[in-house]
Amino acid sequence: MEKNIEEKSTENISFISKSEQFIENNQKTIIGIIVAILVIVLAIFGINKFVSQPRQQKANEAIFSAEQYFAQGDFNAALYGDSTSNDKYSVGLLQVIDKYGSTKAGKRAKYEAGICFLRLGKYDEALKYLDKYNGKDQLTPIFNEMMKGDAEIEQGNTANAIKHYEKAAKMDDNTITAPFALFKAGVAYMMTDNNAKAVEYFKKIKSDYPESSLFAEMDGFIAYAEAK
């Protein structure tokens, strides 16, 4: 028993000795790796603290006035800023996108710019900025998809619009956006004289989304599409 213990102890000492020797022989390399890792970590920390965070703050300051105009429905001022304002931050969404497009505020500005152009009847520009938006929340990507459909409808591209509406309907099966997207798709199908498909979607809203604000209107739309 004692012999086994001694042999085990000898093995441990030998292993420790070899480990120490490896560290000693490769000390410069190991230190170099540790230093490199520290440099990377500190660089990432430095970029976040001294570059990303201040940039985010500047973007939030820059977009503030534009979003005020946007909320008020002044879409031109929201897009291009107010040249008569004494506020140094009174710049438009397009300037925010150009300068801070990769920030959260810049990404939000693309969505809002798309809405502005849509409301102003500039549908190509609306699609341009709606295509650039890549939201991560639950609702704005769905509304973004539906607005692409709206822009396509206005340009007479009904088939493309239907694709956007149907995609939006499948993105999240909730009682707010799903029935609204199906309704838009149904109306678009009626515009192409595919009344059967329109009836299918209107009936789906009635059967699947009784809590939707559209529910009470569906009987009228179903009757109209069936009689058309």
> Are residues 163 and 148 in contact, defined by beta-carbon separation less than 8 angstroms?
no
- In CATH terms, is domain 1-130 a member of 1.25.40? yes
Q: Where are the domains of the chain?
A: 1-130, 135-228
Do the domains at 1-130 and 135-228 have one common CATH topology? yes
Spacing of C-alpha 222 from chain mean position: 34
| pLDDT tens across the length of the chain (228 residues) | 444 444 444 444 454 455 455 545 555 554 455 445 444 544 444 444 544 566 677 877 888 888 899 999 999 999 998 766 555 557 899 999 999 878 888 999 999 999 999 999 999 999 999 999 998 889 999 999 999 999 999 999 999 999 999 999 999 999 999 999 999 999 999 999 999 999 999 999 999 999 999 999 999 999 999 997
Average pLDDT, the chain: 81
Rounded CA-CA distance 131/190 in Å is 26
Q: What percent of the chain has pLDDT over 90?
A: 59
Q: What pTM does this model have?
A: 0.74
Q: Which long-range contacts (CB under 8 A, 24 or more apart) does 183-192 make?
A: 183/214, 183/221, 184/146, 184/149, 184/150, 185/149, 186/221, 186/225, 188/149, 188/153, 188/158, 188/161, 188/162, 189/162, 190/225, 190/228, 191/153, 191/158, 192/158, 192/159, 192/162
Q: By the 8 A CB rule, do 164 and 152 touch?
A: yes
* CATH T-level assignment (fold) for domain 135-228: 1.25.40
